[in-house]
Amino acid sequence: MQLKSLQNFFQNGLLGYYPKEEINAFFYRICEQHLKYKRVDVSLHSDTLISPETYEYFETIIGRLLSYEPIQYILGTTSFFGLEFKVDSNVLIPRPETEELVAWILNQADTEQPLKILDIGTGSGCIAVSLAKQLPNAEVYALDVSPAALEMAHYNAQQNAVELNTIEANVLEWKPTDFSFDIIVSNPPYVRESEKERMAPNVLEHEPHLALFVENDHPLVFYRAIVELSQQGLKKHGRLYFEINEYLGTETKALFSSNDFDTVQLKTDIFGKQRMLCATKR
């Protein structure tokens, strides 16, 4: 079988399950990782004969995609803020909105001063590693309740040549008695159980629910816990950054009205949705 025939086989196997543009994006991404062919190389080498092993590899991936397994988990890697990250079903797949959160932090950070940063619910470590890469004067800590997630964050830190201090803890119980940070950032679970019906099957059936969902009656439980620990764990004039539920921006902002924070800002993402919040401690 030639490469161009493999591409037709791949497209036909997924038609009706994904848009054609997305199918093509999958194919080129797999070719780049498995065959070391960039998109232009696929056209230049369309008549190249492929091995039976390569055919079987693509056939296996078609089967996994038909069950809506995310391509990032299938290939075991994804890009975030210009860096490569290992991912699997123990961690959420990094999103473009989270890149916007990292960019916001970097835009406001004093890059000339040493900083102490805490990323709560680090998962793959995408936020913590990206900040450590861009802020060489920063000492970055990554907290997660999942040992598997922390192991992956540590791996991603090594792969991207940065130092990361990991803390295994449940943020609902953890007290930062020995720590004080300039920046605390978190993308905590915030999707209400009632919002599951709005979610795509690739997310709902494959990504870790522990990192996604909260009870309908307590949607801000993690935000309250982080605001509380920030009273001791965040320095004066330190900043707290959140990624938030787009439907709960007003409610999330209200958490700070009776706490020791001012200049609370809500920020919209590229789609015009309220997805980020920054609060500065008095």
Assign domain 78-281 to its CATH architecture: 3-Layer(aba) Sandwich (3.40)
For residue range 222-265, what is the model confidence (pLDDT) as tens digits? 999 999 999 889 999 999 999 999 999 999 999 887 668 888 99
How many CB atoms lie under 10 A from the CB of residue 179?
A: 18
Alpha helix (H) residue ranges in the chain: 3-14, 20-30, 39-44, 52-66, 71-75, 96-108, 126-134, 147-159, 201-204, 221-233, 249-254
Share of the chain above pLDDT 90, in %: 88
Give me the residues paired with residue 192 across strands: 214
For residue range 84-125, what is the model confidence (pLDDT) as tens digits? 999 999 999 999 999 999 999 999 998 888 999 999 999 999
* Positive/negative CA dihedral, 84, 73, 141, 167: negative
For residue range 144-198, what is the model confidence (pLDDT) as tens digits? 999 999 999 999 999 999 999 999 999 999 988 788 999 999 999 999 999 998 8
- Amino acid 84: pLDDT: 97
- Amino acid 258: pLDDT: 64
Please give the model's pTM, rounded to 2 decimal places.
Answer: 0.93
Task: Show me where the domains of the chain are located.
Answer: 3-66, 78-281
Tell me the mean pLDDT in the region 50-73.
97
